[in-house]
Structure 1
Amino acid sequence: MTRLTAALRRYPLVAAALAVGAVGLLLAAADLETAARILVSVFAGAVALKEGVAMIRSMIAGQLGLDLLAVTAIVATLLVGEYWASLIIVLMLAGGEALEDYAEHRARRELSALLDRVPQRAHRIGPDGAIDDIPVDAVAIGDRLLVRPAEIVPVDARLASLEGSFDESSLTGESLPVDKVAGDEVLSGSVNGPAAVEVIASALAADSQYQRIVELVREASASKAPLVRLADRYAVPFTLLSLAIAGIAWAVSGDPVRFAEVLVVATPCPLLIAAPVAFMGGMSSAARHGVVVKNAGTLEKLSRARTVAFDKTGTLTKGHPEVVDVRPASGEGTAQLTADELLRIVGSAERYSSHVLAAALQQAAENRGLALSESTDAREVATHGVAATLDGRALVVGKPAFVAEALASDAAPLSRPELPSGEAAVYAAVDGRFAGTIILRDRVREEAEATVRALREQGIQRVLMVTGDVDATARPIAAGLGIDEVHAECLPDDKVRIIRDATPRPVVMVGDGVNDAPVLAVADVGIAMGARGSTAAGESADAVVLLDDVSRVVEAVTIGTQTVRIALQSIWLGIIISVGLMLVAAAGLLPAVAGALLQEVVDLVAILAALRAVRAGTKQVPARMVARETSPTR
């Protein structure tokens, strides 16, 4: 009862129509038919006047909407004395708003779930072990936080406890809990498992993953689909057809009531409701599949996409190098270390470097369980390498020329292996003797080849790579992925020019870095890899992939195509059923009151048809390719 009261308060026109109907029935039952007719007619006439004024304003602004038929139907039924039918049409219009609101709420569920779960407080652990509850915005990087069982992690952090289990379903779609160990990254928005854990904040609340997602969702939920306007394009032909059928029925029968009976079932609520409900459903489905579509109109463009362009590093590749081989030097005059010893000392030295390869070398050593050493005199020579004393030995790590300068006169010369395009080598010397090399590559994403293949199967006519990397590195990767067209060594301006001139359109651009922000903005649809990508890229894009998975681009195109198809199907379903009912009414087989009631059923059918978009999309790109690699050089 409470819910019903709240609903009636939320929709006062529905409440008023029901109240007028109830009073009218009581008056009619008391043999006060005239009073009932006056009450209902005045109410329906007032609603028609209000809607008519709004309609005229829209027409002056150059917009002919489908509400023209509804107003005409109310007026026609009043003129022929079918005042109960008038009331039902009013109730239908008011109820249509309520149905649309419910349907949109149903379709927005995946989006609003994120907004409802925004963390507000954090439990900070002080130096003395005391716990203070503070606003999440007051959390600073490095703060130690307590996350209690079933609580949401408030900011991006690293796990300080030995282990923990987290539900990341709202972020990644993964339904199973994810187990983490000390040092692992914990994303804000994750739900802690059954045991309390401690984490170390690694980002401010405003910069955390969950807050970024929430901002994207706010933008998405406030957007409006251009295809909603497409429904208004049916207004003129549908209105003319309806008036023609009604006029012919009146002329043939000689009964003006027949005119009103036809217009009653010609009311256009299904057309008004179907498109927005379908698009909200598509956006909801995209969010559930790890893609936040910021503007609902993006789904329509995705459905018509004919060209897709990819950045390379961080998009088709993982964006960070990995150690693929450790080659210790052997023979007289070398340091003669084992592979693990070489990796350990290089990883230890790279702790004091800011180079892009440093983190990969440290991580490789840690992954093998090697204990890294400390140095008190380590120094980095910019763009060349690191010199340090580790465990009493002089170590030099970096470029070959830098390391060669540190070799003793009686040491074996530095050996430089032949490297294929895309590989990088880090050299090392210990106590003036060559110690060996470590090889790194930036691996191609396992799902990249299947993604390109699936896009072609979706009807994409042209796939290209647009990258700032050198041609010798980019072209072999593109060939391995089935991409024929490569634009390498591009500056941001070059990327913008290439995408602006690309055909056929619409053009989708997929990227992740700061340098991709301009080209994402100029593309018909810009898609940012947001899991590790830059904030600038995410802000300029039309859609953001929240997972570290480029195959979600296929998911976005699939959802866009299916959403538009469902929207159009729902619109045409409403048109076909309405035309069928008009023909029945034109034959005199459908009284005005019965027609008005049947139109409510048509509304419901259109909404249910549009809600199919909530399930749009595929499960996942099926095949995963064997990793191929490429990398930056030191």
Structure 2
Amino acid sequence: MTGDRINWRYAFIALSVLVLAAVILLHLTGAEVAGRWIATVYVAAYIAWTLVDMVREVLRGHVGLDVLAVVAMIATLAVGEYIASLIVVLMLSGGEALELFAARRAQRDLTALLDRSPRTAHVLVHPRSTDSDEVQDVAVDDVAIGDLLLVRPSEVVPVDGVLLSESGTFDESSLTGESLPVTHAAGAEVLSGSVNSTRAVHIRAVRRSADSQYQQIVALVREAQSSRAPVVRLADRFAVPFTAVSLVLAGVAWTVSGDPTRFAEVLVLATPCPLLIAAPVAFLGGLSRAAKAGVIMKGGAVIEQLARVRSAAFDKTGTLTQGRPQLVSVRPAAGFDETELLRLAASAEQYSSHVLAEGIRTAAQDRGLTLLPSDEAGEVATNGVTAVIDGKVVVVGKPAYVRSLAPDTVRADLPAGEAAAYVAVDGRFGGVLVLADAVRPESAGVISWLRAHGVRRITMLTGDVRPTAEAIARDIGIDDVHAEILPADKVHLAAALQPRPVMMVGDGVNDAPVLAAADVGIAMGAKGATAAGDAADVVIVVDSLSRVVDAVSIGRHTVTVALTAIWIGIGLSVGLMLVAMTGVIPAVVGALVQELVDLATILYALRALGGPTPTVAAPQSTASAAAPSAVA
């Protein structure tokens, strides 16, 4: 939707108003013939232009409601109601302008994301030093991983990066919905799309533009804007019966009265705008409202599916749980100090990419421990890490790996839902670090809300071990659990799930196939799960499972508003046509009344921009923590 198109519509409306005013003036001054000719030529030109568009649409396989307007204009000219014919022209052009205006209003939150998309980046000319601010401006797509960037005050961070400055404060509202600025320390990740505060900072790019958080959101928004909802196509299917009913009523009025004017008087009230305009405006409003809540929907088709969801499937790790294992306890072996064991293990885990490593490092830092550097470190994939820390050989990893280097290693007895990192120091078993992946505090409330609002079946699909999966499911209220399954198994199970439609919620690369296969796939994309986001129909860019409830609630409200607007328009039109059959509504008055019907339906459709805010109940008790032995 371009500004030129809107301006052109407004110019055409102004011309129609001038022509109508001139014809009325000629009529009042006795020059009715001149007025009739002007109106006939102008309306005929508009009819010809409309017919060309109608032919194009028919060739595309789309039968619309413009035929009603064309017949109404021809009928009013034929019976001499040329002022009414001009009002019909004004009504149609005004309706199109109202549609553009309402759609632009509904898209405001979506287009705000596109308008703020960064286009250039300031790359430091001397990348070895942050003391110089000599920069070269390059296109954001040309920024490479590892480039050192300067972000000036009030500028949008162009790509995802690591903060090099001592600290920085950023407005992340467009990404997370959090209105308050967030302060990060050196080493923290800064996401593209966040806005720097009042002090320039340096960051090192960790992702290219196309892979960065904000650009992914923008790509999703563009995809959402270009789609068309099934309910709008359903509205198109109303065209034939509504047209037939309108023509029959007009024909009956003509036959019974014997007056062809009655035919025109009925047809000018056969308003197509509720079907042509109200539904698209409502769906744009729903997309806009969802985007503002941190939920990017890939089009109106998704909204209708969400409104009808009857089954839901959830991944576990990173979806129902936080996906960030946290340290629960330190169990030192004889001769080892708890604090020193944690310091040595966390220092070694600086050189590990294992899912448990971050939790160990974070726990040590939270306790004020200073991590020590290593002169020599290496990681054995899937097994553990070995590092020389303060002259000691420290090994952290799986029990079998640690036992191979420290034969006195003793396996810990762990309850379901907990995982352990084993530690050896200089060939001796040092102890165990126990971690757990905490359940999201909102998970139980989300499950409860879905059950209370018509989602009849809820299941968990996870690759994690059964005891852990069942422990978490029990805590949050899920009684149907499929554990220790592969991604392909998830696809088959989701395909067989009844009743339909089925909503699948997950994150990570391994969830991409089932998200694509589900009727509605929802990706928890706040952590940059690119593959899952690409495969999903909905991407939640805020790290909260409660946004699933928002998505379903917005879908239901939007569809209700769209269908209600359609039926309000049809009901008013049919009622007014029945009245007009008696001859009490002149053609000019009918054309003006039809404008009010159009305006009412469009204003009602804009209610999709608002709506009730769903409430996710707080859990009755704190859900027990659980950690995967295999990341699902």
TM range (shorter): over 0.9
Cα gap change, 1:183 to 1:353, in 2 (>3 Å): closer
Match status 1:628 vs 2:619: no
Corresponding residue number in structure 1 for 2:316:
312
For 2:624 and 2:178, the matched residues in 1 are separated by 26
Match status 1:525 vs 2:520: yes
For 2:87 and 2:504, the matched residues in 1 are separated by 50
Please give the residue correspondences for 1:3-402 in structure 2 after superposition, counting only pairs within 5 Å.
8-10=7-9, 13-28=12-27, 31-55=30-54, 58=57, 63-125=62-124, 126=126, 127=128, 129-132=132-135, 133-329=137-333, 334-337=334-337, 339-402=338-401
For 1:543 and 1:405, the matched residues in 2 are separated by 46
**TM-fit CA distance, 1:220:** 0.5
For 1:265 and 1:10, the matched residues in 2 are separated by 23
Amino acid at match of 1:314: G
Output one character per residue of 1:307-356: Cα deviation in whole Å (capped at 9) or x when no partner.
Answer: 11111112111223221111222xxxx3331x221110001112233333
Amino acid at match of 2:20: G
For 1:23 and 1:4, the matched residues in 2 are separated by 29
Match status 1:504 vs 2:499: yes
In structure 2, the residue corresponding to 1:320 is in which secondary structure? coil
Cα gap change, 1:402 to 1:522, in 2 (>3 Å): closer
Amino acid at match of 2:256: V
Output one character per residue of 1:416-436: Cα deviation in whole Å (capped at 9) or x when no partner.
Answer: 331012211122233444322
**TM-fit CA distance, 1:94:** 1.3
For 1:223 and 1:388, the matched residues in 2 are separated by 53
For 1:153 and 1:5, the matched residues in 2 are separated by 31
**Root-mean-square deviation over aligned CA pairs:** 2.4
For 2:617 and 2:201, the matched residues in 1 are separated by 36
More displaced stretch, 484-493 vs 61-70: 61-70
In structure 1, the residue corresponding to 2:243 is in which secondary structure? helix
Amino acid at match of 1:244: V
More displaced stretch, 357-366 vs 289-298: 357-366
Whether contact under 8 Å (2:253, 2:582) holds in the other structure is yes
For 2:400 and 2:57, the matched residues in 1 are separated by 74
For 1:118 and 1:368, the matched residues in 2 are separated by 39
How high is the TM-score relative to the length of structure 1? 0.93
Amino acid at match of 1:335: G
Whether contact under 8 Å (1:44, 1:74) holds in the other structure is yes
More displaced stretch, 382-391 vs 478-487: 382-391
For 1:388 and 1:267, the matched residues in 2 are separated by 77
State, as a whole percentage, how many aligned pairs show the same letter.
57
Match status 1:481 vs 2:476: yes
In structure 1, the residue corresponding to 2:306 is in which secondary structure? helix
**TM-fit CA distance, 1:481:** 1.5
Structure 2 unaligned blocks of 5 or more: none
Amino acid at match of 2:96: E
How high is the TM-score relative to the length of structure 2? 0.93
For 2:361 and 2:441, the matched residues in 1 are separated by 23
Corresponding residue number in structure 1 for 2:417:
422
Corresponding residue number in structure 2 for 1:618:
613
Whether contact under 8 Å (2:317, 2:628) holds in the other structure is no
For 1:417 and 1:600, the matched residues in 2 are separated by 76
Whether contact under 8 Å (1:555, 1:620) holds in the other structure is no
For 1:235 and 1:377, the matched residues in 2 are separated by 74
Whether contact under 8 Å (1:123, 1:147) holds in the other structure is yes
**TM-fit CA distance, 1:222:** 0.8
Aligned residues: 623
**TM-fit CA distance, 1:516:** 1.4
More displaced stretch, 31-40 vs 241-250: 241-250
Amino acid at match of 2:429: F
In structure 1, the residue corresponding to 2:394 is in which secondary structure? strand
In structure 2, the residue corresponding to 1:460 is in which secondary structure? coil
Corresponding residue number in structure 1 for 2:552:
557
**TM-fit CA distance, 1:269:** 1.4
In structure 2, the residue corresponding to 1:145 is in which secondary structure? strand
Whether contact under 8 Å (1:8, 1:15) holds in the other structure is no
Whether contact under 8 Å (1:394, 1:431) holds in the other structure is yes
In structure 2, the residue corresponding to 1:84 is in which secondary structure? helix
Cα gap change, 1:288 to 1:477, in 2 (>3 Å): same
Output one character per residue of 1:373-402: Cα deviation in whole Å (capped at 9) or x when no partner.
Answer: 122233434443333332223333323344
Amino acid at match of 1:365: A
Please give the residue correspondences for 1:403-418 in structure 2 after superposition, counting only pairs within 5 Å.
403-407=402-406, 413-418=408-413
**TM-fit CA distance, 1:87:** 0.9
**TM-fit CA distance, 1:576:** 1.8
Match status 1:494 vs 2:489: yes
Cα gap change, 1:383 to 1:5, in 2 (>3 Å): closer
**TM-fit CA distance, 1:458:** 1.6
In structure 2, the residue corresponding to 1:362 is in which secondary structure? helix
Whether contact under 8 Å (1:143, 1:200) holds in the other structure is yes
For 1:36 and 1:455, the matched residues in 2 are separated by 63
Whether contact under 8 Å (2:383, 2:397) holds in the other structure is yes
Output one character per residue of 1:163-195: Cα deviation in whole Å (capped at 9) or x when no partner.
Answer: 332211111222222222222222111112233
Output one character per residue of 1:23-65: Cα deviation in whole Å (capped at 9) or x when no partner.
Answer: 4345445532112101211221232244345445655766442
Whether contact under 8 Å (1:555, 1:617) holds in the other structure is no
Output one character per residue of 1:56-106: Cα deviation in whole Å (capped at 9) or x when no partner.
Answer: 565576644222221121111111110111111111111111110110000
Output one character per residue of 1:240-279: Cα deviation in whole Å (capped at 9) or x when no partner.
Answer: 3323332333333332212211111112112211100000
**TM-fit CA distance, 1:238:** 2.3
Q: Deviating runs (4+, > 6 A) in structure 1?
A: 3-6
Cα gap change, 1:567 to 1:371, in 2 (>3 Å): same
More displaced stretch, 278-287 vs 461-470: 461-470
For 2:391 and 2:177, the matched residues in 1 are separated by 50
